[in-house]
Amino acid sequence: MRGLTKEYVLQRFLMYLLTIWLGSTLIFIIPRLAPGDPITVMITRVSLDSGYVENADQIIAAWKARFGLDDSLWVQYARYWGNVFRLDFGFSLAHFPTKAWTMVRPALPWSLGLLSLATALSFLVGVTVGALMGWRRTPRWLQLILPSSLTFTAIPYFMFGIVLIYVVAFKLDWLPATGAYSRSVNPGWNWPFIQNVASHAILPVVSIVLTSMGGWALGMRGLMISVNNEDYFLLAQVKGLSPTRIFFRYGVRNAILPALTALALGLGGLISGSILVEFIFAYPGTGYTLYQSIIAQDYTVTQAIANLIIIVTATSVFLLDLLYPLIDPRITYKRNAP
């Protein structure tokens, strides 16, 4: 890659490691600032269900010792980083003896599949609409129509999801309301199952795309307006290049960098899932798993999901920093001479 220096790569890599360390440390500290502990919460929940738990204090003390929760914070912190390096997040505190990763792993593909599609569609549609709104040569009729596509941006996506369930699923009976697939199909790589999964994903995807594309569109519109006045953009028009080439190569390519940075920062959301959307549509993703682990103060499951979010976000930003010159040739890694 032209202009890429060792000093720059080392600097960005050290920043990458620092980001992961700070993020993972906060994930360790924040749950422990909440009052109570997961063992006490679990025993209290059992006592509320059954009415009484014999020798509850002894059980709580024994389980705290078993999970090391009565050790000092420094000991727990050292043990935590040892587990992170081994990618072994231990047992779930709320669902012992189930491993934390065993709870996260089945939910991860559902959130990745759903939100990867929703994020990609929202980004591509929003950036295209915003670029067309900010381009001076966009046809007049199209400039009048495009702003109406941003109407749904003012509606929270979970509320819009409720409306879709009521109208599309219950009133019109076009699509299933909840779940990832029907019990009538056999899970596996077969066409009926794939069709069933796709039909269940349509409403969650539509609710996210229609309500989030407006943010990308408005941001891209402002960036495209600024590009319209650049010398290289005006020169391309004077040279008589085709409108399509001017729009994509000279306009979108130079205006899209801040949007790509925002996209890289938002990729961690593919791991965390969309909690409210998954809750409303009863979608078995990591968002709902994260919600349940927070409610139950299940440190290990929360830390497993949160660390994945941190690693994915930091990695995407690090790679984007290295790829910037391929997107915009004006950017160089070389230090300017004094």
Count other C-beta atoms under 10 Å from residue 59's C-beta: 15
Residue 74 has pLDDT above 80, yes or no: yes
Distance CA 113, CA 33 (A): 33
Full set of structural domains in the chain with CATH: 12-101 (no CATH), 108-284 (1.10.3720.10)
Q: Is the pLDDT of residue 157 over 50?
A: yes
Q: Give this prediction's pTM.
A: 0.70
Quote the tokens at residue 110.
């559902």
Q: What is the DSSP letter of 91?
A: B
The enclosing H or E element of 132 equals: helix 108-134
Query: Would you place residue 52 in the very low, low, confident or very high pLDDT band (cuts 50, 70, 90)?
Result: low
Would you put residue 68 in left (φ > 0), alpha (ψ -120 to 50) or beta? left
- Supply the pLDDT for residue 1: 47
Decide if 253 contacts 328 (C-beta within 8 A): yes
| Angle ∠(92,98,104) on CA atoms, nearest 5 | 70
What pLDDT does 292 receive? Answer: 79
Residues 224-251: what's their mean pLDDT?
A: 81
Q: How far apart are CA 214 and CA 336, in angstroms?
A: 38
Tokens of 228: 């319209």
For the cut 60, the answer to whether the pLDDT of residue 262 exceeds it is yes
Q: Report percent pLDDT > 70 for the chain.
A: 80
Residue 4: per-residue pLDDT: 65
Confidence band, pLDDT 50/70/90 cuts, at residue 312: confident
**CA pair distance 13, 16, nearest whole angstrom:** 5
Highest mean pLDDT out of 64-68, 165-169, 241-245: 165-169
Whether pLDDT at 41 is above 80: no
Q: What is the pLDDT of residues 180-195, one digit of tens each?
A: 777 777 777 778 888 8
Whether 112 contacts 271, CB under 8 Å: yes
Contacts 24+ apart (CB under 8 A), 180-188: 180/110, 180/283, 180/284
Which pLDDT belongs to residue 185? 78
Closest of 312, 316, 306 to residue 104, by C-alpha? 306
The rounded Cα 187 to chain-centroid distance in angstroms is 26
Q: How confident is the model at residue 329 (pLDDT cuts 50, 70, 90)?
A: low
- Could you tell me what percent of the chain has a pLDDT over 90? 0
Which residues make Cβ contacts (< 8 Å) with residue 8, sequence separation at least 6? 333
Locate the DSSP E strands across 232-281: none
Residues 6+ apart with CB under 8 A from 144: none
Choice between 18 and 211, residue whose per-residue pLDDT is larger? 18
The band of 256, judged by pLDDT with boundaries at 50, 70 and 90, is: confident
> In 3D, which of 259, 143, 279 has the Cα closest to residue 207?
279
Q: Of 98, 285, 122, 270, give the one whose Cα is nearest residue 197.
A: 285
> What do you get for the CA distance between the two ends of the chain, in Å?
24
Predicted pLDDT of residue 114: 81
Burial class (CB in 10 A: 0-12, 13-18, 19+), 143: middle
As a whole number, mean pLDDT of residues 311-326 equals 78
CA–CA distance, 203 with 175 (Å, rounded to integer): 8
DSSP 19-59: HHHHHHHHHHHHHHHSSS-HHHHHHHHHHHHHS--TTHHHH
User: Is residue 66 very low, low, confident or very high in pLDDT (cuts 50, 70, 90)?
Assistant: low
Banded model confidence at residue 242, pLDDT cuts 50, 70, 90 = confident
* pLDDT score, position 95: 75
In this predicted structure, what is the pLDDT of residue 337?
46
Q: Span 117-126, mean pLDDT?
A: 86
140, 128, 329, 237: CA torsion to nearest 10? -20
Euclidean distance between CA atoms 273 and 286, whole angstroms: 5
Residue 117 predicted with pLDDT over 50? yes
Averaged pLDDT of the chain? 77
pLDDT of residue 331: 62
b/e map 163-175, b = 16+ CB within 10 Å: ebbeebbeeeeee
